[in-house]
Chain A
Amino acid sequence: MPEPSLPQPQEPERAIAGTGTGAGMDLAAAEAATVGSGETGRPAGRPRSLWSDAWHDLRRNPVFVLSALVICFLVVIALWPSLIAPGNPLHCDLARAQDGPSPGHPFGYDGQGCDVYTRTVHGARASVTVGVCATAGVAVLGSVLGGLAGYVGGFWDALLSRITDVFFAVPVVLGGLVLLSVVTSSTVWPVVGFLVLLGWPQISRIARGAVVTAKQHDYVQAARALGASGPRILLRHIAPNAVAPVIVVATIALGTFIALEATLSYLGVGLKPPSVSWGIQISAASPYVRNAPHALLWPAGALAVTVLAFIMLGDAVRDALDPKLR
């Protein structure tokens, strides 16, 4: 059966509508025809949900395809950097400091004589880890707190709103300088923790708004009237209708978090050597930028492309999930 969806069920009603007058019949036929032609543009078969609809749009969006490819590549080299850069990023030879590109070392050497190519490739891991973990933390914490506040309302909602206001008032870089300067660990986790701490209010505000909107819909009241419990209403009826804006903001935030990690590392409070990260590379290369610009340009370029890819992905996802915003 090619088109099991729209036209079929309307036939009985239309038929009755048409029996009275000839004009009614023509009208029904014309309407059925327009419905039919509208349908032909779509692939026949399974009906489409919001998500399959969004996926359908995304696959045809070159911005999405390009940014998704960049991100896939990035994730692969973050997981297995040795695939394309078998060298040791911590192996440096001071004798070759600031040297230009040479065979086997396409990006040249930095101020410490370390291979820029190897370090740039290995630096992706820190950026992707920070971006993904911070986003996951922010998304979970923010949507749980924001969602609950929006659903419960009243006092707790007001309390949460004031708390988010406090967090919004904290300048990220200043907060990072103060909080992270006391941390001695050289792993990514303090940075992730800091970004989650300052990032969740943004998601929580979005999630709260989405839940408050979804809560007012008739189908939520209908679910209540048919005996669904509170948690069930929240998880089955409200959450799926409120999750789209959270996904969009989280995707865009991922790029921002990667840039923030680089910023904090550049300032010396994010990742610290001997960790390998783009921010550390940029920081280390900046004093010699006149003599060895390549040591700065490659990691900076990698950072820019990565952030751009995530922001473009977020934009594409937003367009697909909420065409009204386009």
Chain B
Amino acid sequence: MLLEVRDLHVEFRTREGVAHAVNGVGYAVDAGETLAVLGESGSGKSVTAQAVMGILDTPPGRVTGGQVLFRGRDLLTLPEEERRRIRGAAIAMIFQDALSALNPVMTVGDQLAEMFTVHRGLSRRAARAKAVELMERVRIPAAAQRVRDFPHQFSGGMRQRIMIAMALALEPDLIIADEPTTALDVTVQAQVMDLLADLRREYGMGLILITHDLGVVADVADRIAVMYAGRIVEQAPVHELYKRPAHPYTRGLLDSVPRLDRKGRDLYAIKGLPPSLLRIPPGCAFHPRCPMARDVCRTDVPPLYEVSPTRGSACHFWRECLDGSAGA
């Protein structure tokens, strides 16, 4: 296994109290595999990624438990200097908004070249040549001229390509893409996703795709992990999950996607709001919003039940949910 997150706990100490952002998340990605981590804002999907990368803001954030095994080594126990060498070189990250994730006062060429001077000790000239090569790889037209441009001179899609180029620079084993297409136009979204998928295949990397967009996931992901209130509520191969969700939250998400064959009807919405991380409901965190909730849901936290060797659901009544989905 390339990356395995085990029982990860992260909390944030705030003035109002301790926010439990991640409560025992576990997922795994193999080389060449794409795992989509799906969830609403505040579900802990980005925080998990930050903890894996080791770029959590501490304080106020703090990893309070769990393991992050990268090629069998627990990253959380490594000294900072060693972790720094892994960041960018072995695990790289793509950020949501490329305009703010690129330094406005450095040319994109300098920022790309920095990857090579920092990690590989290349000369400025050699690094610059590599930068142009990378920009060509992510299909930026006239890369040799544009290498001296500043981030604000690129369009949104082009900027995101540069972000991708930076992440790819050292041919990492794993890329974590945190909502890489959220800030882009729909048409550009598809191009950037395709590019990312192509490059992932070409390099044979593992990819963790963090998103709240169900549409983005379907085409590129192999497996999906759905997060809610800092926990994984369902994990499954992508097509099985779409066909027969085994958790009422997943079903709610899928039902709230607009569909052409239901035109004219009211769009389904999961009632209520995601819980405050300061006061996560006891038992199953989803119970106040769940249409199938019973007494046991209010008291007992559901473990991740094994639905099949490749699937898991954290619902006491996953069987019912699965059958209900089949009927629907």
Contact = CB atoms under 8 A, between A and B. Distances in A.
Does B bind A? yes
A15 to B, nearest CB: 10
Contacts of A223: 103, 114
A222 B166 CA distance: 10
A12 B141 contact: yes
B145 A222 contact: no
B289 interface: no
Interface residues of B, number: 46
Interface string B122-165: 00000000000000000011100110111001110110000100
Interface string A220-232: 0111111111001
A9 B160 CA distance: 13
A46 interface: yes
Contact of A219 (B102, B157, B185): B102
Contacts of A225: 53, 55, 87-88, 92-93, 95
Mostly helix, strand, loop or mixed at chain A's interface? helix
**Residue of A6, A16, A226 with highest tally of chain B CB at under 10 A:** A226
Interface string B89-103: 100110101001111
Contacts of A241: 103-105
A3 B105 CA distance: 21
B103 A17 contact: no
Nearest to B53: A225
Given A13-B188, A226-B166, A241-B103, A1 B114 contact: no
Nearest to A220: B103
Contacts of B191: 13, 16
B141 A9 contact: yes
B87 to A, nearest CB: 4
Contact of A218 (B84, B86, B89, B100): B100
Contacts of A175: none
A226 B115 contact: yes
Interface in A199-238: 217-219, 221-229, 232, 236-237
Contacts of B146: 4, 9
Contacts of B59: 154
A19 to B, nearest CB: 9
B298 to A, nearest CB: 38
Given A4-B142, A237-B103, A226 B92 contact: yes
A8 B142 contact: yes
B167 interface: yes
A9 to B, nearest CB: 5
B85 interface: yes
B155 A9 contact: yes
B115 A8 contact: no
A227 B89 contact: yes
Contacts of A50: 104-105
A145 B227 CA distance: 43
A13 B87 contact: no
Interface in B169-197: 169, 185, 187-188, 191
B153 A240 contact: no
B127 to A, nearest CB: 14
Contacts of B154: 9
A46 B166 CA distance: 23
A9 B157 CA distance: 9
B119 interface: yes
Contact of A232 (B55, B95, B118, B140): B118
A47 interface: yes
Contacts of A218: 95, 97, 100-101
A222 B93 contact: yes
B84 A240 contact: no
A222 B89 contact: no
B106 interface: yes
A29 to B, nearest CB: 15
A1 B93 contact: no
Contacts of B97: 218
Nearest to A216: B57
Given A10-B155, A225-B53, A237-B103, A16 B115 contact: no
A164 B304 CA distance: 54
A50 B88 CA distance: 28
**Residue of A5, A9, A222, A225 with highest tally of chain B CB at under 10 A:** A225
Contacts of B86: 227
A184 interface: no
Nearest to A5: B153
Given A8-B142, A9-B140, A227 B148 contact: no
Contacts of B187: 13, 16-17
Interface of B: 53, 55, 59, 84-89, 92-93, 95, 97, 100-107, 114-115, 118-119, 140-142, 145-146, 148-150, 153-155, 157-158, 163, 166-167, 169, 185, 187-188, 191
Given A223-B103, A228-B84, 10 more contacts: A5-B149, A47-B153, A218-B97, A218-B101, A219-B101, A227-B84, A227-B87, A229-B84, A229-B118, A232-B118
22 contacts: A9-B158, A12-B141, A13-B185, A17-B188, A47-B148, A48-B150, A50-B105, A224-B55, A224-B87, A225-B53, A225-B92, A225-B95, A226-B166, A227-B87, A227-B88, A227-B89, A227-B115, A227-B118, A228-B84, A228-B88, A240-B105, A240-B106
